[in-house]
Amino acid sequence: MNRNPTQRFSNRVENYVKYRPSYPTAVLDCLRDECGLVETAVIADIGSGTGILARLFLQNGNLVLGIEPNKEMREAGEAYLAEFDQFTSVNGTAEATTLPENSVDFVTAGQAAHWFDREKSLPELRRILRPGGTVAFVWNTMAFDDSPFMQGYEQLTLRYFEGKPSRKNEMRGNVIAFLGEGTQVRHFTYEQQFDLPGITGRLLSTSYAPLPGDPRHEPMLAELGELFAANVGEDGRIRFLYTTELYFRQF
C-alpha cells in the first residue's frame, strides 16, 4: 500500500464503524452468477478494515480471512464480526498478506484497493489465489450528480479536503489496467439515509476531512449543517446516494 495509508484511519475508527455504508447484495449475486461463488469458497478480504465487506461474505456462509494492517481498524473489525466463527483476523497488507500460496478462492477489497502498491500487490494477490480464482474490488462511489444535496456535498469536499488525489491518478481510475485483460465491471445503485449527526459522522469518517483542531473543521461543519437544512426531507433525513462499482477478473 502506498502513501503510508495504514495509519490514516486510526483516529476515525468510531465514525467509520457507525457511518460507512455496506454494499448491496447484488455484489454477491453477481459473483455467484459470473464467478461461481459458493458457500464453501474461501475469501481473503484485503484491507478489511472494520469488516464491512467481510460481513457480506460471512453472511453468505463463506470462510473469510480479513487482512488489515491498521491495529485500530483490525480490532474494530474483530469486535464487529465476533459472532462469526468462520472469520479470521490477520495482520497483513496487500503486498504481504502472510497467507499460504494457492490458499483462497476469492481475493476481495472493499473501499481499499486504491491504497495498494500497484507494482507489489498484484503478484501477492495472485500468489495466494487458487487457479481459476477471482480478484474482486468494490467501491461505493458517491453519486454527486444525482441530487441537489449530493451536488452540494461534492462542492463542500472540494473546498475543505486537502491532498485527495484525482481518481485518474489513483488505482481506482486504473483498475482495468491493473487487473488486465478480461476484467469485468458492473454497477449497482445504493444509498444510506442520515439525520444531521449521521451525515456529520459520515463526513468525518473520510480520511481527508479536517478534524477538530484544524481551522477548516468548524467552517466545514457549519456549511454541512446549512446544506442539510436546505435539503432535509419531512422525516428529518437526507438520502446519501452511491453507485457501487464492482471490478472482477478470474485468473
Query: Which pLDDT score is estimated for 15?
Result: 85
Strand (E) or helix (H) holding 238: strand 238-250
Q: What are phi and psi of 56, to 5 degrees?
A: -60, -45
Q: Which CATH superfamily is domain 5-141+165-191+242-250 in?
A: Vaccinia Virus protein VP39 (3.40.50.150)
Regions of the chain where pLDDT drops below 50: 1-3, 6-7
Q: Is 111 left (phi over 0), alpha (psi -120 to 50) or beta?
A: left
Set of cell numbers at residue 136: 474482486
Query: Which pLDDT score is estimated for 12?
Result: 67
Amino acid at 11: N
Q: Is residue 243 within 8 Å of 141, Cβ to Cβ?
A: yes
pLDDT tens, 92-135?
Answer: 999 999 999 999 999 999 999 988 998 999 999 999 999 999 99
Query: Which pLDDT score is estimated for 16?
Result: 84
Taking the complete model, does pTM exceed 0.85, yes or no?
Answer: yes
Taking the CB of residue 237, how many other CB atoms lie within 10 A of it? 16
Strand partners, 249: 135
Query: Which pLDDT score is estimated for 131?
Result: 97
Tell me the chain's radius of gyration from C-alpha atoms: 18
Q: Is residue 42 within 8 Å of 63, Cβ to Cβ?
A: yes
Q: Is residue 47 within 8 Å of 80, Cβ to Cβ?
A: no
pLDDT tens, 217-239?
Answer: 999 999 999 999 999 999 999 99
Q: Strand 238-250 vs strand 129-142: parallel, antiparallel, or unpaired?
A: antiparallel
